[in-house]
Structure 1
Amino acid sequence: MKGTLIVDVGSRLGAVLYAVYSYSSGRVNAIGIEMNEDFCKLQKRVIEINGMEANIKVINDDVRKQAEVVSAADVIVLHNVFSFFLPLADQTECWEFLRKSTRPGTAVISNPAIEAVTDHLILSFSISDWLEKIETGHLAAQYAGVNQDLFNDCVKLTLYKVKHQDEVQ
């Protein structure tokens, strides 16, 4: 776990970043990439107040300008990114950028599923050629126990692994 880099694309208020810090006891690094300057200022203030600066950073920028950060990520978190904030052409560019910038073996956690948020776009690639979907229903069931509402929330998170070039059909 130590040395792992988690990148939250569209980090908004920073909830993923704070959870990473809290649950890893500061052993994991996390970077939020957020276009909204006010949200970045708020996140930076929370990070500073709570002494998380050594492991948690926020970048106020468009993800398409952060290839170095994205390519260094071990885990990428995507929660309702692009669809609500960008015109179709920019959404397409963002997905093309992510496909080109992610390393093989990188885990991608998305809510909603990437297939659902890209089905209206014309991409130069197939999601299934880029990403391998990892079944997590058993983990959601184990975590949620008998709590059906919690289970329903957990299964909305979709886990993928970026394929190696030789795995692409």
Structure 2
Amino acid sequence: MNFNQAKKTFEHILNNMSKESRTDFLMWLTDYLQNSEKINDLSIQSTNEDMILESIRDEIQEILPVTATTNTETILVPKVGPNADCDPDITVHVDAFLYDEKGIDHLVDQGKLNRNFCTRCGSQDVQPLNFISHSTSIKQIKYIFQYLLPDLSNKTILDIGSRTGGVLYGAFLYSNSRKITGVEIDSSFCELQRTIIDKYNMNDRIQVIEDDIFNQGQLASESDIIVFHNVFDFFLPISDQERMWRFVRNTFRRKGTIIISIPSLEDMVSHLQTDIDLDTWVTCLNDPDLLNLANIHLYGSVDNEDSDLADLFMYQVIG
């Protein structure tokens, strides 16, 4: 039995259980995974695709600063919305594709990063810093392409604000999508992505377009899968964010188009004056059982405190 057959069998078992039985089964499975030496040994083995993605991550770590920002981009501080608490004096930009929680701990141990700030200089009165990422983590990438999305044969993927390119590389490695496109306005990030794509021979399916997504309406309207990650909040003033979201709503109208967003669309548009009615535009496809299964596989437990999978939302356009 190969992986896809095992996955379908497992999903069939879950689909034929009551909600209460599924919860009990997943809790049993968690305990089994945590206490079985054989399963634990297997779970830490990496696939060839995992090793390639991790190699890309390590290479980019050597190129970019810890904050993964460039001299050619301007980051704005949100004044309203879910990220309005990101005071620039106590907010640290750390790219989740490059550094997971263990990676951040390593940076702290090396003295390259702090987790806390002193509220009274010289005292022990400290509070945690805000950490913000503009990229999708490796585990979130695997969650998208190995759990959430269906078979992507002949499908096209568009990552809006592709930045360091994690979603592009993950889509290439973990899916059979026909075409993968990143639209990124920052020239430095475009150059970085093209360097990685060339080195790892991904040119046959990945392209990077240096442009404002506002100028790529036809590409956007024809894409099957759209990925957003904090795409406008830290980079555009409110009036421009509202303009961009109206463009997004008017462009992504094809029924069946799938939108992957971090955070939720509700969080990204609720504080803006856009007149977007999400209920008539999209339906949320998040599945708690699938999230639990992914957490068990990727983090070792249903409720691992380091998991960032619940921050990811999947929608389908309905009109």
Match of 1:161 in 2: 316
Q: CA deviation at 1:135?
A: 2.5
Measured in 1, the distance between the counterparts of 2:238 and 2:232 equals 9
**Of 47, 51, 73, which residue of structure 1 is paired with 2:197?**
47
Structure 1 residue aligned with 2:256: 105
Aligned to 1:36: 186
Indicate if the aligned counterparts of 1:77 and 1:109 stay in contact, CA closer than 8 A. yes
% same residue:
35
- 1:133 counterpart = 2:288: no
**Superposed displacement of residue 12, structure 1:** 0.4
Tell me if structure 1 keeps the 8 A contact 2:160–2:231.
Answer: yes
Structure 2 length as normaliser, TM-score? 0.49
Separation of aligned partners in 1, 2:307 and 2:162 = 23
Q: 2:153 maps to what in 1?
A: 2
Distance of aligned partners of 1:70 and 1:150 in 2 relative to their CA distance in 1, 3 Å threshold: farther
Amino acid at match of 1:21: F
Counterpart in the other structure of 1:80? 230
- 1:151 positional shift: 8.1
Unaligned runs of 5+ in 2: 1-151
Calculate the aligned-residue CA RMSD, in Å.
1.5
> What is the rounded CA distance, in whole Å, between the counterparts of 2:245 and 2:261 in structure 1?
13
Deviations 1:11-42 (A, max 9, x none): 00000000000112x65321001110110011
Q: Secondary structure at the match of 2:304?
A: helix
Q: CA deviation at 1:149?
A: 2.9
Hey, what's the Cα distance between the residues in 2 that align with 1:110 and 1:27?
19
Work out the CA distance in 1 between the residues paired with 2:234 and 2:208: 21
State the partner residue of 1:167: none
| 2:264 maps to amino acid | A
Question: Are 2:257 and 2:316, in contact at CA under 8 Å, matched by a contact in 1?
Answer: yes
TM-score of the aligned structures, taking structure 1 as reference length: 0.90
Matches within 5 A, 1:147-158: 147-149=302-304, 152-158=307-313
Aligned position for 1:21: 172
Tell me which protein shows more strand as a share of its residues: 1
SS of equivalent residue, structure 2 residue 227: strand
> What number of residue pairs does the alignment pair up?
163
Contact persistence 2:227–2:259 (CA under 8 A): yes
In the alignment, does 2:261 pair up with 1:116?
Answer: no
Residues 32-77 of structure 1: per-residue CA shift (max 9 Å, x gap) = 0111011001101111111111100111111111011101111100
CA distance in 1, matches of 2:278, 2:307: 24
Give the direction of change, closer, same or farther, for the CA distance of 1:27–1:108 in structure 2 (3 Å limit).
closer
- For structure 1, which runs of at least 5 residues remain unmatched after alignment? 165-169
Q: Which has the higher contact order (CA 8 A, sep 6+)?
A: 1
- In the TM superposition, structure 1's runs of 4+ consecutive aligned residues that sit over 4 Å from their partners are none
Q: 1:150 to 1:144 in 2, by over 3 A?
A: farther
SS at match of 2:311: coil
Distance in 2 (alpha carbons) for counterparts of 1:8 and 1:16? 7
Separation of aligned partners in 1, 2:278 and 2:318: 10
Flag the structure with larger Rg: 2
CA, structure 1 residues 130+137, in 2 after alignment: closer, same or farther (shift >3 Å)? same
